[in-house]
Amino acid sequence: MDYNFHWRPVFNKLPELLSAGLTTLEVATLSMIIGIFCGLLLAIARMSDNKLIRWPATVWVELARNTPALFQLFFFGFGLGAFSIHLSPYFIVVAGLAFNNAGYLAENFRGGFQAVPDTQIRAARSLGMTSTQTYIRIVIPQVLRIVYHPMTNQMVWAVLMSSLGMMVGFRELSGETQFFASKTYRMFEYFAVAALIYYAIVKVILGGAKLASFRLFRY
Amino acid sequence: MSNTVSVFSGFQLNDIWFMAEAAGRTMLISAVSIVVGTMVGIVCGWGMNAGNFIVRSTLGPVLDLFRSVPLLIQLVLFYNFFPIIGWALDPFASGIFVLSLYTAALVTQVARAGIDSVGLPMRRASRSLGMSYWQDMRYVVWPIGLRAVFPAWVGVALSVMKDSALVSVLGYVELLRASQILITRTQEPFLILAVAGAFYFALSYPLSKYSQKLEERWAS
């Protein structure tokens, strides 16, 4: 082995890499928030009796689940260009990840909705709540509790998938790493450090979710 | 005759052939990785389940690393690592290496859950009927465990098939890379991406529906 490892250029750029790690976290969180919101709507829409509501939701969910995430990013990046909609790399990543998250979360939410007994909805309605009130105050809090664990997993996936931003020219952790690595040709060193940062981010999310679950689900 | 030279040329019939070839490469790299990764994953799953403390405490964190680092980073990392130790692997071989390890990390969990799903009383019963450890594994644990986790395995296999698109970062011309090349030439992103997406969808959707059906049938 006659390769000399040079770690110094990587350590010099560590502040930039760490702040890019924060960008990764920001993009993943934002896409997750949009994804949870859209996923809830999709799950409700898929249980609708109206075909016009059910169909588009089903198409969204199946497309998100059955095509590569990279394809979805390319679609938001280049595909929409055909309709002269040009998004910035930041929005390509957020939109692509949110689309993907919503599709996967919708299936989890659907399972969660089915686990809430019908009798509770009837009880809430007979107490005089409107349908919307019933959903917001009775059903959705329980669904969020049931899908808490799948949701943390999805958050981890969102962080991992955000690395695809590198392929559409977004400078999150992977993109930034690629940028510096191609400047200095220290590919291995840079990406090894990036891998460690990703590992740390994932562990922090999982640990934080565990701590939050003690606080959230005391009862 | 116009004086301008057109750099771009439209989508032609033999471009379909180009994409079909690339789709074949996508299938090849994912099939090889899924087969190799599944075999390694089953062995690792068995090790995580039946191994002693040392096996579990080395295997666990290593596989956890493969699940917690983005596949894209793993691919670039290993692709640049092989020359350091003196191996000359082309993008295809490196892609298979990384995808197989990634598959193995995912399949390990599935295999472990499969072995766990066969209750201890059942296994004690088979052993007390005079079966050896391996007979118990082959004739009791395998068929019952397979049934429990087969749908989950299909899910893993399909996700690896979709993730194989990332090997394009190493320069391996699989379907998504091929469509990018065509987009650069024809400037018709929507049409070409739609064709590529349709291929992935056509492969993934029926299989996922089939496994969902199996899951429902076996659950009842």
Residues of chain A positioned with their CB less than 8 A from the CB of B73: 163, 174, 177, 191, 194-195, 198
Tens-place pLDDT, residues A130-172? 989 998 888 888 888 889 999 999 999 999 999 999 998 899 9
Q: Tell me whether residue A34 is in a domain.
A: yes
Q: Tell me whether residue A159 is in a domain.
A: yes
The pLDDT of residue B207 is above 80: yes
A79:B81 CB<8 A: no
- The residue range of the domain holding A147 is 8-216
Q: Tell me whether residue A3 is in a domain.
A: no
Range of B7-11, B139-143, B182-186 with top mean pLDDT = B139-143
AA identity, residue A171: R
Q: Is residue A92 very low, low, confident or very high in pLDDT (cuts 50, 70, 90)?
A: very high
Q: Pick from A61, A65, A86, A64: which is nearest to A76 by CA?
A: A86
Q: How many domains does chain A have?
A: 1
Tens-place pLDDT, residues B136-170? 999 999 999 998 899 999 999 999 999 999 999 99
Task: Kindly report the pTM of this predicted structure.
Answer: 0.89
Q: Is residue A66 very low, low, confident or very high in pLDDT (cuts 50, 70, 90)?
A: very high
Structure tokens, A6: 């040079």
Domain boundaries, chain B: 35-172
The CATH number given to whatever domain includes residue A14 is 1.10.3720.10
Q: How far apart are the first and last CA of chain B?
A: 72
Cα–Cα distance list, B4 to B1, B7, B8, B35, B188 (Å): 9, 9, 12, 52, 20
CA distance A72 to A52: 24
Tens-place pLDDT, residues B39-66? 999 999 999 988 889 999 999 899 999 9
Report yes or no for ipTM above 0.90.
no
B44 contacts A170 by C-beta, under 8 angstroms: no
Which of B80, B194, B204 is facing A191, going by the closest CB pair?
B80
Q: Pick from B22, B77, B42: which is nearest to A194 by CA?
A: B77
The pLDDT of residue B76 is above 80: yes
Query: What is the maximum span of chain B, computed from C-alpha positions, in angstroms?
Result: 89
3-state secondary structure B138-183: HHHHHHHHHHHHHHHHHHHHHHHHHHHHHHHHHCCCCHHHHHHHHH
Q: Pick from A75, A95, A60: which is nearest to B193 by CA?
A: A75
Burial level of A178, CB count in 10 A (0-12/13-18/19+)?
buried
Q: Tell me whether residue A193 is in a domain.
A: yes
Q: Pick from B183, B166, B202: which is nearest to B15 by CA?
A: B183
Q: Provide the shortest C-alpha distance from residue B134 to chain A (in Å).
A: 35
Cα–Cα distance list, B191 to B7, B77, B132, B186, B205 (Å): 19, 33, 59, 10, 20
Residues of chain B positioned with their CB less than 8 A from the CB of A156: 68
Rg (CA), chain B: 22
B111 contacts B46 by C-beta, under 8 angstroms: yes
The CATH number for B35-172, chosen from 3.30.1490.190, 1.10.3720.10, 3.90.1640.30, 2.30.29.30, is: 1.10.3720.10
